Amino acid sequence: MIETVFDHLHVETLLRMRATGAVADEYISTYLHRKLVGFLRHYVENPHHFLDELETCCSVICGSAALAILFRHPWKACDLDVYIPRDFVWHVIAYLVNVEQYTVEFLGDPDYTAYGDIRSVARMSRADGRRVNVIQSESNSPLLPIASFWNTAVMNYITPTNFCIAYPLLTDELCALTTTVLLLEDGVSGATFPFVGHELVKKYEDHGFSVHADHTSWARSEDPSASCPGMGTPHCPLTMRYFGDQFCVTGAIHAIRGRRTPRTLPNDFLGKFTAVWWRGGHTCGGECAKAGKWLYSNSYSCVRTLLMTSDV
């Protein structure tokens, strides 16, 4: 019964509840961990060993999997997307092949040409239909490709110990804002990842999302009198964002009581690097310093200490 109640609460509400005491922390942490492990059981025989592998390789779970695990709205994921630092991709592939009996097929470059932050994509599959996409970052930050995704709804990630949501309220309201990575100024898709043109948008609309080019157009679909909230807000095309900034919702998977000491990794790429981005697109009119201008999106990896991020 408790877990049924949790299923209907926004993740930020869950974090506020767990902060009220040790019992709440234990219940909600158990709920989050069970959701994560339960989801992974659809793809691997031993989720705990797989999470150990991801931790060793500083890798994250993203895409539809993160939506299905972190948000209260039902999302049926058909595969598991794992984002890997550049130098660790073969370690994860070898684990899935030798331990979980997956076979590997590398996807051709044309499907991912718009994603300069992705070096390679290995589609892992099994005879029983399970599928895992191993996505190699162009840098040793596994977060870099996530920062350049074409819409805000899937700019979230889960590690074996933590999670981060870049646009928590927007995504919970089932709104996705596009970036200029694929949807260029003329509205034409620049690549075929993961589908072409309108199919990109339709996938999310079929799951209940409303897809918009900017926050104001979405707000006006609910309230015609809504206006731009101003520069420096999380959705502004000009705002420089990064994973772990003040607009993100971050949290731990495990409860404080009994939480193990984090492993000391020889190369802690998740602890060292984050990813920075700005959405780009048309700026609003009125008093905006760049009123009516077109700004292309961009992303890059950055050392966390330079941005004074939280430890996520």
Does residue 47 belong to any structural domain of this protein?
yes
Global confidence as pTM: 0.87
The total of structural domains in the chain comes to: 1
Least confident residue range of 6-20, 179-193, 290-304: 179-193
- In the chain, which ranges are continuous DSSP H helix? 2-6, 11-18, 22-40, 47-56, 64-70, 89-98, 144-147, 168-172, 198-205, 215-222, 269-272, 304-307
Tens-place pLDDT, residues 23-43 = 999 999 999 999 999 999 999
Does residue 312 belong to any structural domain of this protein?
no
Least confident residue range of 73-87, 109-123, 148-162, 243-257: 109-123
Does residue 148 belong to any structural domain of this protein?
yes
What confidence score (pLDDT) does residue 185 get? 41
Tens-place pLDDT, residues 244-281 = 999 999 999 999 887 776 666 678 899 899 999 998 87
DSSP 49-72: HHHHHHHHTT-EEETHHHHHHH-S
What confidence score (pLDDT) does residue 218 get? 72
Count the neighbouring beta carbons within 10 Å of the beta carbon of residue 286.
10
Does residue 294 belong to any structural domain of this protein?
yes
Tell me the residue range of the domain where 257 lies: 2-307
Burial 82-117 (b: 16+ CB within 10 A, else e): bbbbbebbeebbebbeeebebeeeeeeeebbebbeb
What confidence score (pLDDT) does residue 297 get? 81
Tens-place pLDDT, residues 183-234 = 444 444 444 334 445 777 788 888 888 888 777 777 777 767 777 776 778 8
Q: Pairing relation of β-strands 162-165 and 249-252?
A: antiparallel
Instruction: Say how far apart CA 208 and CA 199 lie, in whole Å.
Output: 14
Q: pLDDT category, 78, cuts 50, 70, 90?
A: confident
Does residue 103 belong to any structural domain of this protein?
yes
Does residue 167 belong to any structural domain of this protein?
yes
Q: For a pLDDT cut of 90, what percent of the chain falls above it?
A: 51
Q: Give residue 281's Cα distance to chain centre.
A: 20
